[in-house]
Structure 1
Amino acid sequence: MSSHTTYLARLREHLDALEVPWEQGAHEGETVATLPGERKLRTVVSLLLGERALELRAFVIRNPDENHEAFYRHLLRRTLRLPGLGYAVDASGDVYLTGRVPLAGLNEMSLDELLGGVLTACDEPFNDLLRLGFWTSIQREWAWRVDRGETTANLEVFRAELEEQTPSGAPDSVKP
């Protein structure tokens, strides 16, 4: 068995031990793990095994509609607190979290810490990023749902702010 195959098997064993769901990725040496979130429903992480390092990439949020400067400043400030991880933007402006760790030190504990960092970096700022980059869309969606008596369940986290901006608030007929 080659060392690449050994590292890949070990990575997947560690994911199993940590009870992190995973599947084989589309590329050779790629494993795709799914992390459950609180603010963001889930974070999908591509773990790509290289010759000497494990590279990771996780989608954070799409290109913001507005307030770009504050949005990216927020991400850059958070990057200062991310050991071995950083935010990146693709050609479409979508935000990803990236990282690279040496294979030599990869064990169950270091993988757990790494995935914990990924989850924190993707999940923790999610609502703040929505406020910064998509607030106008959130307001329009809220108004549309309230006007039609549709559910506002996935906007509940913003309810107080949205009702504060709407003089009458949400009618009682709105489904939570």
Structure 2
Amino acid sequence: MTAPIDAPERERLDAVIATALADLELAFEHVGTGSFLVTLEGEHKLRTMTWLVVQDHTLLVEAFFMRAPAENTAGTYGFLLGRNARTYGVHFSIDRVGDIFLTGQVPLAAVSADEIDRILGCVGTYADENFDPAIALGFASAIEREKAWRAKLAADAGSVTRPA
């Protein structure tokens, strides 16, 4: 096993990541040396907050995807687990309370501007493409209640008489 990276190498990787994020024109917070919180914008999942953290041997990539499903837990997790067979660099995972994340690790030797672009592109794409179907599976009852509430509001608004 290789030794953990030293401070100069950590600083070099920090600069590579910071430059790549700036060149990609992504919004990010530089939380500390080798630690970045990146905001990825999407169409279906509007924002995917993604951590990039230089560790001793790898670059940790972790993005919150969605809360634990309220229903159809097995179906929701099964859907996302099936997606893992076709992902690059990151995969869907759950934490101890069942919340869903995209997580991965990149060997430090592979960290470059191109790899940062590739891995963040994957995170953004996987989050955006899978968000609506995952929400539909895990929160179907809540979605139906919301639709019914909106329909009632629209109906009530249409039946309001206006003063002459």
Does residue 32 in structure 1 map to residue 10 in structure 2?
Answer: no
Aligned 8 A contact 2:44 2:129 in 1: yes
Aligned 8 A contact 2:40 2:47 in 1: yes
Look up the match of 2:66: 61
Q: 2:14 aligns with which of 1, 4, 8?
A: 8
Distance of 2:34 and 2:125 partners within structure 1: 25
Look up the match of 1:88: 93
Does residue 147 in structure 1 map to residue 141 in structure 2?
Answer: no
Q: How does 1:85-164 map to 2 (within 5 A)?
A: 85-149=90-154
What letter is aligned with 1:23? E
* 1:171 Cα offset (Å): 8.2
Distance of 2:12 and 2:104 partners within structure 1: 21
Distance of 1:15 and 1:141 partners within structure 2: 38
Q: Which has the larger radius of gyration?
A: 2
TM-score in terms of structure 1 length: 0.80
SS across alignment from 1:104: helix
* 1:52 Cα offset (Å): 2.4
**Deviations along 1:119-161, whole A, 9 cap, x unmatched?**
1111111000111010100110111122123xxxxxxxxxxxx
Residues 1:171 and 1:125: Cα distance change in structure 2 (over 3 Å): farther
Structure 1 residue runs of 4 or more that deviate by more than 3 Å after TM superposition: 170-173
Higher relative CO (Cα under 8 Å, sequence separation at least 6) belongs to 2
Distance of 2:156 and 2:136 partners within structure 1: 23
TM-score in terms of structure 2 length: 0.86
Distance of 1:28 and 1:171 partners within structure 2: 55
Q: Structure 1 regions of 5+ residues with no counterpart?
A: 150-169
**Percentage of pairs with the same residue:** 37
